[in-house]
Chains A and B, each alone.
Chain A
Amino acid sequence: RSCILVSIGGKNIMLDCGMHMGYNDDRRFPDFSYITQNGRLTDFLDCVIISHFHLDHCGALPFMSEMVGYDGPIYMTHPTKAICPILLEDFRKITVDKKGETNFFTSQMIKDCMKKVVPLNLHQTVQVDDELEIKAYYAGHVLGAAMVHIKVGSESVVYTGDYNMTPDRHLGAAWIDKCRPDILISESTYATTIRDSKRCRERDFLKKVHESIERGGKVLIPVFALGRAQELCILLETFWERMNLKAPIYFSTGLTEKANHYYKLFITWTNQKIRKTFVQRNMFEFKHIKAFDRSYADNPGPMVVFATPGMLHAGQSLQIFKKWAGNEKNMVIMPGYCVQGTIGHKILNGQRKLEMEGRSTLDVKLQVEYMSFSAHADAKGIMQLIRMAEPRNMLLVHGEAVKMEFLKGKIEQEFSIDCYMPANGETVTVTTNPSVPVDISLNLLKREMALGGPLPDPKKPRTMHGTLIMKENSLKLVSSEQALKELGLNEHQLRFTCRVQLQDPHSDTDTLHRIYTHLKSVLKGYTIQHLPDGTVMVESIVIKVSSSTEDPNTKVLLLSWSYQKVNKEATSSKILQQGTDSSPNHYLRKCL
């Protein structure tokens, strides 16, 4: 079952709320005690997002919202919102009415749950609150399936749900832009498979149908109106035309009405081909496929029938199955997963004797074929999605860690990103590099630009000098002078000094003058001034001369400079070093 909790920027989001179809007891529900030991979940969750209508992604939703308790928003796409309640109700009927379970949600609970749903459109940013925003992307897989982009501030996560990277006959392929989320969360159930081509699956389907028809048998295909029914119909119609076959093909009217209704409603969710077809004509208008009447089931000779519901748990498909099960020439093709408790599930497990109502037994002599047409991304698909979204980190869920080391290594190598594979119940912490936006004052910007050099670039940052002021929620970068002004402080200047002793019998003034003349001759190109206040200035370095108190022949040179940029200081020392190199005043040199 899929149910993932994400904490991002202080927000808590639940991704999917699925049921584990293999368990009969409470283990089938997600363990909500990870959120809180007792009490309702409303205060702990900012929102719930459901990716698509499959029960292992939404099956526990009414239980969570109505029996554990959650009153916040539940987000899902429009088709998911329309289809979920149907599947949940079907599922509830099977579990409660057929299997007699008690700790389960009621029909009313499903209705109440759906009232909390906020529908999503593709590529539309929805503000859950003033900090959390979400956006849905097309995932392929089934009608209405979405991948979700969740953003809080500058951090983001993308959850894929189930998706498919190759388009099929009625759905397109998943697509996402280069949104560069901090984490991409993907299912890894099929991550280590390489999928057999759709053509071969279809070939198998046609082969089986053809073999049955050829020996005079009847073929029952129980379908869910919005599943592969349309695709399989197109396939059979084409085949019949090509091979000039005469056996009748039927679909039950319930199926066509529902399917047409939903496809019309959600036309933008199907692929180009279907849309074109729909525009031209009714989707279920075929030359060789006709509407079914229940009396036809008793007609002699070969035929193919598409009937609902898909798991043989009730209705027309079950009625037809009961009639045809006893003949070994016949066949039933199950195109998808069947929930425990249904006849579909039992026969797919090899059961050949079924207990029906009124204690009668049904001998299952017909051929049972299980075919999987569901579209999932495989190893190649995951790599394609990562290439599309460019996440900074990868998270694979629902796989066994030892069976995914290779994929982890592959992802890490090819994309240089970290790949995590937490087990159920495990918490993974991913550190992100949030980008902090800072305003810069125009003056400072102008000053930096005036310094020349290359323009700053995300790949080649440039150091600059400024002061960062943080006031409430804003961050500002201003020049030091402006900062001092804003803070009402005076500017202080640091000066460094250094004392050098040298032997010189001349007077202070003469020594100074000699130093001045000497420096002027050797340090060409630098500004050297002899100031009236008795100092010599080399650029910004000040030199003063005084006599030592003990010995008038020992002169003390005081050098001082202000703290400026590092390189300026270096230049200063270099200048003086050059200037004194040729003089016997090696003390000066040593000092510098």
Chain B
Amino acid sequence: MEETEFDDILDDWFIESLKTYKDLHVYQLEHPTQVIEWTSGKTVCVAGFTSSKNEILELRLPLKLFADENKGLCAERDFKVVHGGFTDAPVRCLRHIPGTRCVVTNDGLSSDLQVWDLGGDDSDVIRRTGSVDGSRGVSEGGSRIAARLSSQPQVLHGAESAGVRLTQLTSGQTVYTLETDSADPLSSLHFVSDAVFLAGCSNGKVYIADTRTSAAPQLSPPPPSSGESVLWWTDASAGPSCLDPSSCRIVRLSSCGQTVISDLRNPGGAVSRAQLDVQTRRCNADDVRVSWAPALDDCIAVSGFSGAVQIYSSSVWTTELQEAQPLFEHRGHAVSSQSDDGVPVFVTSHVWHPERPRTLLSAASDGSVHVWDWVDQSAAGC
């Protein structure tokens, strides 16, 4: 066999992966997705974002991943398309409403939301069941969406801080509206408890509001040293693991890699900081994601700046701004992409598995979707 064929089969990354990943699955969708959203412990939704016809797919993860004790006896490594539907517009944001078979999407062109029924066992077609009006006069980028954590099917949405509303899905009624002094474009919305939510703005501001009161929201100003053209993304650690909303933490990431962690008890201050190496050749605001690991302490995943997903352990960060090295880097998308036009592939989305500590899903601009369970090489940390 020729030398090139050897390299063909076994490149460095492939060999390395034997030790660095417990599980690794690589898939190719027909069209790239910008959204990955859990609809159950074993299923996710993905959707296309071309300007014309797109598909929304609900995929069931490979059975082998969940087989645990009987893993060896399970040969099933494929995604199963359990439900699928069509939409005429791009899907830029997709949220599952917990406790229902309902998802809500936004096309990034207006602030209105589309409501879908994923379907049950009797049909594999995802159907549009309605819509939710957004506020008039929207900025670019469309609406962000968050779903209420409790059993009430309510959806929080908006494109700007002024005008974020909580809408009852069944009646379409607005239950709460956020009022802020300025209309700041949003980068994300998060519920930290059933009633308290965060509105993360692209300029670095974070509003903290309680839907039970009509009091003005708390404002956490943008971290210092952010310039005019710097964009910010936010995530909040929340959910059932966060019993006391005030002990929830917020991570803010800037387009130049500056990362600040604050505590809800002291939203203006910083618990720790770090400078991440994000290799910004280009930065598409739509693609950047920063997220807390739901089942690991102090771990953050960052993607969207390149063809890699980076995992950081913030437990070693201090209040001094210092360079941080990733605990792990998933370079699978960059390594296995076959981009003909020389445009480098970049990661469009990532999510953590809600329970399995080190399992993530990531998607890239070439249509690839990876499911990976990384090995923590360091003894300490996550």
Q: Which residues of A contact B (CB under 8 A)?
A: 190, 192-197, 199-204, 206-207, 210, 234-235, 238-239, 241-243, 273, 277, 348-350, 367-372, 378-380, 383, 402-407, 409-410, 413
Nearest CB in chain A: distance from B84 CB, A = 3
B-chain residues with CB within 8 Å of residue A348 when the two chains form the complex: 73
| A404 close to B124 (CB less than 8 A) | yes
Other-chain residue from A195, A210, A234, A403 in contact with B18 (beta carbon distance below 8 A): A210
| CB of B85 closer than 8 Å to a CB of A | yes
Name the distance in Å between B212's Cβ and chain A's nearest Cβ.
Answer: 41
- How distant is the Cα of A273 from the Cα of B4 in the complex, in angstroms? 13
Q: Is the CB of B124 within 8 A of A372?
A: no
Q: A402–B123 contact, CB under 8 A?
A: yes
B 1-30 to A, binary, CB cutoff 8 A, 1 in contact else 0: 100011001100011011000001111111
Nearest residue in A to B59 (C-beta to C-beta)? A194
User: Can you spell out 8 A-B residue pairs with CB atoms less than 8 angstroms apart?
Assistant: A194-B28, A197-B25, A200-B24, A200-B25, A238-B6, A370-B75, A402-B124, A405-B125
The answer to whether B9 touches A203 (Cβ under 8 A) is no
Q: Report whether over half of chain A's contact residues are helix, strand or loop; otherwise say mixed.
A: helix
- Whether B26 pairs with A199 at a CB distance below 8 angstroms is yes
Interface residue tally on B, bucketed by range: 35 or more
The CA of A561 and the CA of B6, in the complex, are separated in Å by 88
| A196, A367, A379 — most chain B CB neighbours (10 Å) | A196
How far is it, in angstroms, between the C-alpha of A200 and the C-alpha of B10 when the chains are bound?
Answer: 12
Partner of A405, one of B29, B74, B123: B123
Evaluate contact between B72 and A369: CB separation under 8 angstroms.
yes
Evaluate contact between B80 and A192: CB separation under 8 angstroms.
yes
**Cross-interface CB contact of A239 among B10, B29, B55, cutoff 8 Å:** B10
Asked if B83 is at the interface of the complex by the 8 Å CB criterion, the answer is yes
Minimum CB–CB distance from A297 to chain B (whole Å) comes to 22
Of all chain B residues, which has the CB nearest A350? B73
Instruction: Return the chain B residue nearest A406 by Cβ.
Output: B84
> Is there contact, CB below 8 Å, between A380 and B14?
no
Contact A197 B28 (CB under 8 A): yes
Q: Which residues of B contact A (CB under 8 A)?
A: 1, 5-6, 9-10, 14-15, 17-18, 24-30, 53, 55, 59, 62, 70, 72-86, 121-126, 336
Residues of A within 8 A of B30 (CB): 379-380, 383
A177: min CB distance to chain B, Å? 23
User: 3 closest A-B pairs (Cβ-Cβ)?
Assistant: A406-B84, A196-B77, A372-B75
A195 to B27, CA, bound (A): 6
A199 touches B336 (CB 8 A): yes
Residues from chain A with a CB closer than 8 A to the CB of B336 are 197, 199
A402 touches B122 (CB 8 A): yes
Q: Which residues of the partner chain A approach B1 to less than 8 Å between Cβ atoms? A: 234, 238, 277
Docked CA distance A379–B78 (Å): 12
Interface pair B80/A370, CB less than 8 Å apart: no
- Take A192-B124, A194-B81, A199-B336 as given contacts and tell me if A242 and B24 are in contact as well, using a CB distance cutoff of 8 Å: no
CA gap between A238 and B15 in the complex, in Å: 11
Task: Point out the residue from A193, A277, A404, A409 that lies within 8 Å of B86, measured CB to CB.
Answer: A409
Alpha-carbon separation in the docked complex, A242 to B3 (Å): 11
Chain A nearest CB from B54 CB (Å) reads: 12
A190, A238, A368 — most chain B CB neighbours (10 Å): A238
CB of B26 within 8 A of CB of A197, answer yes
- A199-B26, A379-B81 given as contacts; is B75 within 8 A of A371 (CB)? yes
Q: Nearest chain A CB to B55's CB is how many angstroms away?
A: 7
Known interface pairs A196-B26, A203-B24, A234-B1. Does A410 touch B78 (Cβ–Cβ under 8 Å)?
no
Q: Report whether A196 and B62 are in contact in the complex, using a CB–CB cutoff of 8 Å.
A: yes
The answer to whether A206 touches B123, judged by C-beta atoms less than 8 angstroms apart, is no
- In the bound complex, residues from chain A placing their C-beta under 8 Å from that of B81 are 192-194, 379, 406-407
Complex Cα spacing A199 to B10, Å = 9
CB distance from A284 to the nearest CB of B (A): 13
Which residues of chain B come closer than 8 Å to A380, judged between CB atoms? Answer: 28, 30
A203 contacts across to B, CB distance below 8 A: 14, 17-18, 24
CB distance from A145 to the nearest CB of B (A): 20
- Closest chain B CB from A293 CB (angstroms): 26
A359 to chain B, nearest CB (A): 26
B124–A406 CB distance below 8 A: yes
Q: Would you give the shortest CB distance from B4 to chain A, in whole angstroms?
A: 12
Cα–Cα distance between A116 and B194 once the two chains are bound (Å): 73
- Closest B residue to A348 using CB positions: B73
**B40 CB → nearest A CB, Å:** 17
A206: nearest chain-B partner, CB-CB: B18
Min CB distance, B31 to chain A, in Å? Answer: 10
With A210-B18, A239-B10, A242-B6 in contact, is A194–B84 under 8 Å at CB? Answer: no
Cα A300 to Cα B201 with chains together (Å): 65
Which B-chain residue is minimally distant from A281 (CB atoms)? B1
Q: State the CA gap A101–B85 with chains docked (Å).
A: 48
A406 to B125, Cβ gap below 8 A?
A: yes
Q: Is the CB of A370 within 8 A of B26?
A: no
Within 8 Å by CB of B77, from A200, A277, A407, lies A200
The answer for the CA separation of A46 and B347 in the assembled complex, in Å, is 56
Q: A200-B26, A406-B81 provided; 4 other pairs, C-beta below 8 A?
A: A193-B78, A196-B78, A406-B124, A409-B125
Which of B6, B27, B53, B121 is the one whose CB lies under 8 Å from A241?
B6
Taking the closest CB of chain A, its distance from the CB of B286, in whole angstroms, is 24
Q: Is the CB of A350 within 8 A of B79?
A: no
